[in-house]
Amino acid sequence: MTQLIKTAEDIEGMRIAGKLAGEVLDYIGPYVKPGVSTGELDRLCHDYIVDVQGAIPAPLGYGGGGGRPPFPKSICTSVNHVICHGIPSDTKILKDGDALNIDVTVIKNGYHGDTSKMYVAGKPSILTERLIRVTQECMYRGIAAVRPGAHLGDIGAVIQKHAEANRYSVVRDFCGHGIGRVFHEEPQVLHYGQAGTGMELKAGMIFTIEPMINAGSYHTKVLPDGWTAVTKDHKLSAQWEHTILVTPTGVEVLTARTEEDLSFLNA
């Protein structure tokens, strides 16, 4: 049975894994540019995780079963209308203006750190820049709703409200999740919903908040590779993700990156 409330030892292990995951996203940023392949980005991240951090890339070989093969690469690279779980490839060459989500999960000493960030190869269009910004705001608003006594529905409600106020839609088919020694565990964290509903949050819970926001409809389709999820209308999608800890007084972002100012969360 899933242990929803983590021990002090678990929390410290998750802080270490989360910090490493954030460092991978800091490291790979300068390499995201027109002309590079997502396969090359995967190799760079793999070598950094294994050789520099002494950690394990959790996606590599993950999943499988039910006719779906295990995930074949070390990171997920989701370009433009790909919502999530894009598979890196040497034939996928980034073009000027492409939006890219890189999703990284590292395992260190048995603990998982899971995070993702949006990048743009070259110069973004105004529409791309706006979707990326609003999606990040959705994630931050969801994180800011976390505190003991709040409910999971509070997170989804504020994300949905902000996305729809900007005329975007929230993907329903994928959600955040509990995480620890297991990659995906309870609770499921929906990015839409009604405030005051769902599980009550308690100090010591650790889970991801990772809204996927679409420029068009929220309907999705999974490609024949069994992993790559795309928007049905082929319109742009964006995603940001952090692993967070519910603290006695609020929230701690375990996968925070160096460029982020998160002081507003516990203000």
- Residue 260 belongs to a domain: no
Cα gap 234→262, rounded to integer Å? 33
Predicted pLDDT at 23 = 98
The arithmetic mean of pLDDT across residues 175-204, rounded, is 96
Q: How confident is the model at residue 263 (pLDDT cuts 50, 70, 90)?
A: confident
Residue % of the chain over a pLDDT of 70: 98
Q: How far apart are CA 210 and CA 136, in angstroms?
A: 9
Asked if pLDDT for residue 267 goes beyond 80, the answer is no
Mean model confidence pLDDT for the chain: 96
Q: How much is the average pLDDT of 227-234?
A: 98
Paired tokens of 26: 């800091």
Structural domain span for residue 114: 8-255
pLDDT at 57: 98
172 token code pair: 């329903």
Residue 267 inside a domain? The answer is: no
The first and second tokens of residue 122, run together, are 């070259």
Residue 17 scores a pLDDT above 70:
yes
**Is 139 a domain residue?**
yes
Q: What is the pLDDT of residue 138?
A: 98
The per-residue b/e assignment along 118-153, b for 16 or more CB within 10 angstroms, e otherwise, is bbbbeebeeebebbbebbbbbbbbbbbbbbbebbbb
Give the pTM. 0.97
State pLDDT tens for residues 105-120: 999 999 999 999 999 9
Is pLDDT above 50 for 1?
no
pLDDT exceeds 90 at position 103: yes
| Count: domains in the chain | 1
In a domain, 262, yes or no: no
Is 201 within the bounds of a domain?
yes
- Domain of 225: which CATH number? 3.90.230.10
Phi then psi dihedrals of residue 157, to 5 deg = -65, -45
Is residue 235 domain-resident? yes
Residue of 229, 227, 230, 228 lying closest to 69 (CA atoms): 227
61: left (phi over 0), alpha (psi -120 to 50) or beta: left
How far apart, in whole angstroms, are the C-alpha atoms of residue 184 and residue 15?
17
Q: How far is it, in rounded angstroms, from Cα 220 to Cα 184?
A: 21
Residue 264 belongs to a domain? no
Q: Is residue 261 part of a domain?
A: no
